[in-house]
Amino acid sequence: MTVRLALVSAPVSLGERYGLFSGAGSTEPSFGLLCLAAVARQAGATVKVIESSARGLDPESTLKEILEFSPHCVGFSATTSDIIPISALAARVKTVLPQVLTLIGGCHVTALPEETLNAFPALDLAVLGEGEETLREVLGRLEAGDHFPDGIAGTARRAGTVVRRYPARDLIANLDTLPLPAWDLLEGFPSLFKPSPSRIRRWPCASIVLTRGCPNQCKFCDRSVFGNQCRAYSPEYAVSLVRDLYDRYGVRELLIEDDTFVIVKERVREFCERLIQEKLKISWSCLGRADRVDPDLLRLMRRAGCWQMSYGIESGDPEILKAMCKRLDLDQIRQAILWSRKAGLRTKGFFIVGFPGETLDSLERTRRFACSLPLDDITVMQMTPFPGSELYSLADQAGMFDRDWRKMNIVNTVFVPHGLTQEGLESARSRLLRDFYFRPEVLWRQALHIGGHPRLWKAAVSGFCSLLRVVRGA
């Protein structure tokens, strides 16, 4: 038989996902789901992608689309904060279609397969780690008539009252062997999808990921899905992916979402040189690491269309950075931002408040450091001990940890280190945002950016209103 596969993201609203920051939230679709969809189609399956979160679908609308498709298999992807609404949706699917095989993949179940499958009986099979080759094997078994496949590498499933976990599957050594993402299966792409207003200059826009895995050892990160070794699409493949978006879908803006995009400078240089040779009128932004950039590379990136670099700064306190295993110092961070601005790039900084060992003094050092840097934007996250991170296993000893999975979204305060209070942490976040943004030079730069791109003004106003709601707590 030809297997009918539905790939579904969580039906979670912007308000549920971002809380007070919902006005600045993103509705960009999941790049990972589209990669899985392409592999499934290549394997002969009939595939439907239901991007519930990005399309703003509620659980009822999502269920309706799933049932109308009459799938043999439904694959759900979930972060920690998504896992409960996903499991509720799976239970409703099972009520109507009891014979359908339900798969669950993503970072949460990879980190906690036993806990997840035991908690949610409507989820049949967990796909652990990188999913493409595992999904291909699952579909092959279904096509052969094995409706509840067992013993597949890279999976876990219930066996009576226990969860049986099978050996890990090898990571894909050559990402170029994968087909291009199945953008055509995404209803409304690209016009219906918008990123956060601070991360875009124009539309249509698409988010892409060009590397997998991270060699860094930050204690707050989960590397369980893609591992500790950085693998990447070749520059040739990456540019063909960009060309596909440009020619077939009219995309003119890219968000390169990799944590490790600039890890290997030679690969970034070749990617930029190929983009320049292609003469594509496309702009893009990316994440960087302060010890992996230099003036020449940043100037080349600017020539290739890059307009904004975002850096994971995390803290302005050297001892907190050391405790995080960030392996950066404040001088490196400042130098990278100055180089970026000199190259003509806007800059954004990511900060975290509430790491174990944090004090009122360290929070104040972070505030002063952030305001001393020539950044255009910042994001301030509450420290969240995600499953799979080193911090997750240490959190109970380091402070008060609320393990409610629904709240674990970097916006809610679920962890408070010893010596601080929830109110103190949230006040510090609000004060940092207020003191950074409500300065004449920052407001002026924001006005110039929006003035140069008038289509952004509605989204920018929405984001600013969200900011005001947050800083009222300062």
Each residue's pLDDT tens digit, 259-285: 878 888 999 999 999 999 999 889 999
Q: How do strand 125-127 and strand 101-105 relate by DSSP bridges?
A: parallel
C-alpha–C-alpha distance, residues 38 and 468, integer Å: 41
Query: Per-residue pLDDT averaged across 328-348, rounded?
Result: 96
Does residue 183 register a pLDDT over 80? yes
Three-state DSSP state, 232: strand
Spatial separation of the C-alpha atoms in residues 147 and 352, rounded to whole Å? 45
Q: Helices (H), strands (E): how many in the chain?
A: 18, 17
Asked whether the beta carbons of 201 and 346 are under 8 A apart, the reply is: no
Mean model confidence pLDDT for the chain: 89
Lowest mean pLDDT: which of 90-99, 417-426, 449-458?
449-458
CA distance 287 to 81: 23
- Segment (H or E) for 158: strand 155-159
Lowest-confidence segment of 116-125, 251-260, 330-339, 361-370 by average pLDDT:
251-260
Helix (H) or strand (E) holding 268, with range, is helix 265-278
**pLDDT at residue 184 is higher than 70:** yes
The Cα–Cα gap between 317 and 369 comes to 8
Residue ranges in 279-359 assigned as alpha helix (H): 295-303, 318-324, 330-342
pLDDT at 474 over 50: no
**Lowest mean pLDDT segment, chosen from 27-31, 178-182, 332-336, 423-427:** 27-31
Q: Confidence class of residue 473 from pLDDT cuts 50, 70 and 90?
A: low
Q: Is 80 exceeded by the pLDDT of residue 246? A: yes
What is the average per-residue pLDDT within 140-152?
92
pLDDT band for position 459 (50/70/90)? low
Domain with CATH 3.20.20.70 in the chain: 195-471
Provide mean pLDDT across the span 151-156. 96
* pLDDT value at residue 449: 66
Cα–Cα distance for residue pair 463/455, rounded to 1 Å:
14
pLDDT score recorded for residue 77: 92
What is the chain's alpha carbon radius of gyration, rounded to the nearest angstrom? 22
DSSP letter at 24 equals G
What are the tens digits of pLDDT across the range 16-46?
Answer: 665 555 445 566 778 999 999 999 999 999 9
240 closest CA partner among 178, 303, 306, 310:
178
Percentage above 70 pLDDT, the chain: 89
Is 414 a residue whose pLDDT tops 80? yes
CA angle 69, 74, 80 (to 5 degrees): 130
E-assigned strands of 1-154?
4-9, 46-50, 73-77, 101-105, 125-127
Asked whether residue 52 carries a pLDDT value surpassing 60, the answer given is yes
Structure tokens at 271: 């990617």
**CATH 3.40.50.280 intervals, the chain:** 4-165
The CATH label, of 3.30.565.10, 3.40.50.280, 2.60.120.10, 3.30.460.80, for the domain at 4-165 is 3.40.50.280
Looking at residue 260, its amino acid is: T
Q: Read off the pLDDT of each residue in 454-472 and give the average, rounded to a whole number.
A: 58
Q: Which of 278, 251, 467, 274 is nearest to 380 (CA)?
A: 467
Which pairs from 153-162 meet CB under 8 Å and 24+ separation? Answer: 154/127, 154/128, 154/129, 154/130, 155/125, 155/126, 155/127, 155/128, 156/109, 156/113, 156/114, 156/117, 156/125, 156/126, 156/128, 157/117, 157/124, 157/125, 157/126, 158/117, 158/118, 158/121, 158/124
The fraction of the chain above a pLDDT of 90, given in percent, is: 71
Tens-place pLDDT, residues 375-402: 999 999 999 999 988 899 899 999 999 9
The answer to whether the CB of 297 falls within 8 A of the CB of 339 is no
Section 317-342 average pLDDT: 95
Q: Containing H/E element for 163? A: strand 162-165
Average pLDDT over residues 315-336: 95
Tally of CB atoms within 10 A around 215: 11
**Which letter does DSSP use for residue 160 in this model?**
T
Q: Does pLDDT of 469 surpass 70?
A: no
Q: Nearest CA to 290 among 318, 327, 317, 325?
A: 327
pLDDT at 450: 66
Q: State the pLDDT at residue 55.
A: 84
More confident residue, 312 or 54: 312
Supply the pLDDT for residue 187.
Answer: 85
How many other C-beta atoms can be found within 10 angstroms of the C-beta atom of residue 412?
A: 17
Most confident among 9-23, 182-196, 339-353 (mean pLDDT): 339-353
Q: Evaluate if residue 347 carries a pLDDT over 70.
A: yes
**Is 198:24 a contact under the CB 8 Å cutoff?**
yes
Q: Quick one: average pLDDT of 190-197?
A: 74
| Check whether domain 195-471 has CATH 3.20.20.70, yes or no | yes
Instruction: Report, as an integer, the average pLDDT of 327-333.
Output: 94
